[in-house]
Structure 1
Amino acid sequence: MFSDRYEITERIGIGGMAEVYKAQDQALRRVVAVKVMLPQYAADKEFTERFRLEAAAAAQLSSPYIVNIYDWGQDSGTYYIVMEYVRGIDLKSAIQQRGAINQRKVAEIGSQVCQALSVAHGQDIVHRDIKPQNIMVQPDGNVKVMDFGIARAKNSVKARTSNVLGTAHYISPEQAQGKELTGTSDIYSLGCVLYEAATGHLPFDGEEAVNVALKQVQEPPVPPSQVNPNIDADLEGIILKAMEKNPFNRFQTAQEMKRALDDYLRGRAVNLGAGAATTTIMGNNAQTQVMGANDYGYNNFAGGTEVMTPIEGTSKTAVRDFRVDDSAQKKNRSRRIAVGITTAVLLAVIAAIAAWALFFNQDDGLAKVPELSDLTQAQAEAAIEKAGFELGDVEEVYDADTVAGHVCGQDPEAGTEAEKGTKINITLSLGVEKGQIPNLKGLSADEAQDAIEKAGFVAKFGGNENSDDVEQDKVCRQDPEPGTEADAGTTITYWISSGVESVSVPDVRGYPERDAIATLEGAGFVVESQAGDYSEAYDEGTVMSQSPNGGKLEKGETVTIYISQGVDPSTLSKDVPDVSGMSESAAISALNNYGFQNVSSEYRNSTEVPEGNVIGQNVYSATADSQIVIYVSIGPAASTPDDGGNNGNNGNNGDNGGNNGGNGDNGGNSETPNTDDQNTNPNENLSTDPNL
């Protein structure tokens, strides 16, 4: 794990100064490629600076044909670059597996690489290491140029050092000599790549890299058509112009080379400009060595004739020096005349030999198998019969490089000799393979990547998003939809669930119950409503409390609300009905019905209210839990009978007692007769109390 973010999963390549790994970006949840500097170079400041410059240079470039650079850093002394993970195969591996590639495909690859170089050169960046290993062919057939590991801005100091960087089989002559480079150096390297792709062979090879580099400087390439006779003359002309030894005779810009390739692909006339200068080969005694910029170089140009002379002050055999003088021109003119005569004689001999062979072998029954690539079945059959052969088996395979219904393979191969009448088997293209988009919902990111790749498609991580029905870290959405049919190599984008969205819980206290439910459900919650308590703060029928109150919840969770019953009626005063005159039971029942449950009775004498009926009550306004007392009549009080006048007075009710009655302090009813001599007349001492 680098920087607590990039988790290494497997190694996918190794180069001269770094290894490349497949990794998972934990922050953005996508597959990336991580280029890690080899440990032996980590302490080398020049290499670490080159590593940093690679990231800086490539990060400036934006093109569909250039691998994107995402990040750069170092962790515990290990330097790394994070870049786009490109699925597919590098062009070198493709050539090794298939040999020569279909020439139209070669031109398409060249056009796309030119587009990438045009972007880089437009920012004064020279790649310096264009080779098939650095060109990735994706499943959809498009390419991406990668590895700007030795890229340098043209005006940088390091661009003018004498260090020779790059791969010997593809470096330009000026790069082999350590000269200052321009975009035409990349064009030369691309010419070497296209040469190899079109022929299946390197333009220059040798046992050691230094020998190959010297050939880049000294020797012209063998024309591609002599290696692969099926190459079109226009494509061959483009390749050879790109590989001119003199930078000024090449395409001057990548865009110019792209136009030539596009013209070839569209069947238009290819304009290669003025004739290229002839490359002069150094003598056989040239030293085998890659030269630095301070050793020698192109001194000047004159007359277009190249004469190899040592540069003054050096002991090494010089590469090309374009200085000429009159005597050199005369010698070269004589040499060209002699070469022309010799060539004419050789051509005449070759023609005679060919005519002789044709005459004496015309009936040997052998014929060359025709080139059938890109022909329809009918066209191929006509060509086979015209050449004296018969159509054999016809098979069909998916081939993204060939239009459906056209020939993408044949047996025997084109250009081989076979007896006339031999059956020629052909393979027709079904075009781009179709496949059904897999259902990724509920899969992890790794599972989704594997499912997409196994189905023949290209995976792309779209990002994270909330989902109500898919758990976190699983695929919740994809494009295109599952079950649809698409071409192999189609990009399928998938999104990973961040789980259910968490939202703030609205505060609905004080809302009427219906409004509170609508508000909470609108926010995505399930609502449970329960009866609350009495409340003086919240009106009856409104929300008095909720759980939870505030904070965040995932959508779909439950919020409980409690509905106020209003003010507690037991705390409110209200009128107490007048139950006077009612029977005791009727009065108690009436008061209970009015909400007064705490009713008690007191009994009193009354001459006006019949016994058992209510005389009155203690209150006429009270709270529901107040005690209500009703006074119930027990009828008039009973009187005391006369016993011979001795009693004098049987006073009752002390307030109105007679003068001589037995009257206590309170004038109450005395049961003891008063024997005072002065109060012996009972008629004079009767109490005036009306109840007596």
Structure 2
Amino acid sequence: MVGRLIDGRYQVRSRIARGGMATVYLATDLRLERRVAIKVMHGHLADDTQYKARFIQEARSAARLAHPNVVNVYDQGQDADTAYLVMEYLPGITLRELLHEHPVLTTDQAMDIMDAILSGLAAAHRNGIVHRDLKPENVLLADDGRIKISDFGLARAATAQTATGNALLGTIAYLSPELVTRGVADARSDIYAVGIMLYEMLAGEQPYKGEQPFQIAQQHANDTVPTPSSKNPRVPAELDELVLWATARDPEQRPRDARAMLEQLHETRHILEGGQKPAPTPATMQTMVMPSAAPRAAETETQVLGTRVRQRTGPIASDSAATLSTLADRRHSRSRWLFALILILVALAGATGWYFGTGPGSKVSIPDVAGKDVAAATAILLKSDLTVSKETKGEFTTTVPEGKVVGTDPKIGSSVAHGGTVTIIVSKGPEPLAMPPVVGGTEDAARAALEPHFDLQETQYQFDSGQAAGIVLAVYGVDRTGKELDLSTVTEYWDGQPITLTVSLGPIPDVRGMSVAEAQKALSDKDLVGSRSDKLHDWSDDVPEGDVIGYKPLPEGTVVTKGTELQLIVSDGVEQVPVPDVVGLSWYEAKKTLLDAGFKLDYDARADLLPSAVEVRKTDPRAGATVDKGSTIHVEFKGF
């Protein structure tokens, strides 16, 4: 693509970035002599009407916005098989690249960036546009200090209630709870994504993490975003409150749009810059050394934070021998009391050891009875000098067969008093579940919905003329006996049930009119095999001789998967047929014969006035000549 001239106007200079849908290049607009960024859709997506519509939607959405914090879109079009979008070129970096180099931003930096994002987003919301894919990758930081929002490829009208299939196209780390659970987005969904970005700038990381996308999506749907100060104590409480307001799980509890949040951001900045600072907490107070008191004759005193340390000077004098004797008696008396106390403590320790070791206060550990039937578990517990409750508890589980013991209450291994009561917990088998509606959606969305509770097997792929590639066609599984069944025919599902998705590979390539080599390559590109047989050929009025008419029909019910062999039918060209001999026949008989044979006719129209009385004198081509079926026959009559 580098060096190519697109649409006779845009000279591609170099590649800037590449995404899942398109590649962005630096180009020169030769007509206006300016540098532009040109976004080119990937070639394999150009024939997909859904992706092309999204590409055009980006141009229309961004073109409706004229705002200094939104990337300008100049042009959109298609050059041959290349769909492109021409945008304002901003040399610089993305917010994501900035966060890679500086994971934690200062309060002022975060508020400056947030001010620009919310200003541009407010313009979008004011024009009825919801971005739906806000993330640091879509925030551009120009070298000249400008900050702009880009990539409106997922934008929709703010009043649209978009279904889950498209809603989940946004980046999972910034999806709002309503997008995860209901697939519905409005202006408040953008606010949620902005709140997550503000958290990330202040805390240095995203609030939710997980090994799989569905784990992160579940946290968005079920958890409350923590405060940034829990990770970065330097974040002021006012910004904590702004993050919590923007990321409330209930959309009704968030700012109604970007304008409302922008106004609150300005108020927060005013408070932090010009408002009264809060009183310092004990954790932030500095240590102060207090002045010492005036020294006394035999004593100096230092006071630090209210704690006094006295230092005495000079020797301690003995007044007399009587005083020394009194002190010695006191020491002997104290020794006798200490010895008596030790004896008492030893006795208490022995009594305590007996009481809790073998006496009434001793404990017994609950034995492991998991996996056993109730009767066997009861016998083991009774043998351990425990009392078994007559009532059992039930618990759904996929690891212990139904009717077997899962555990006990209190838990296995815990210590209880001799004779303590234990309740047995019995397996109720896997928990019954409702099957999410995944047929007709994408494979990724189906996996995100099913993996938390079902055991997903290897996906089965097949070609389908009615669905685009990546769309779920059916869901199969096994019943409790292990028998395979179409899950659309049953209503009972359970936790951990093995499930297999059948996903479309798109339609089989249409090879009509291709040469045999071209048809075989088109099939090979889709991991199919195109075979040629001398016996498989047929006449064709519109496919030239030697080219492919189509495939030999497969038996009814055949599933076409990767590696399937398709037999090609090759054209013999237009069918050759002999000209019927109608010389000497009346025009009535001759005309019917020639038309029934599939020929077109050229004749003197006067013959139609008395067709039974007019006799054919000759035909051109003559009778018996072999010509293309459908050719024109010139007819002459006697007497004309």
Instruction: Provide the TM-score with structure 2 as the length reference.
Output: 0.42
The normalised TM-score by structure 1 is: 0.39
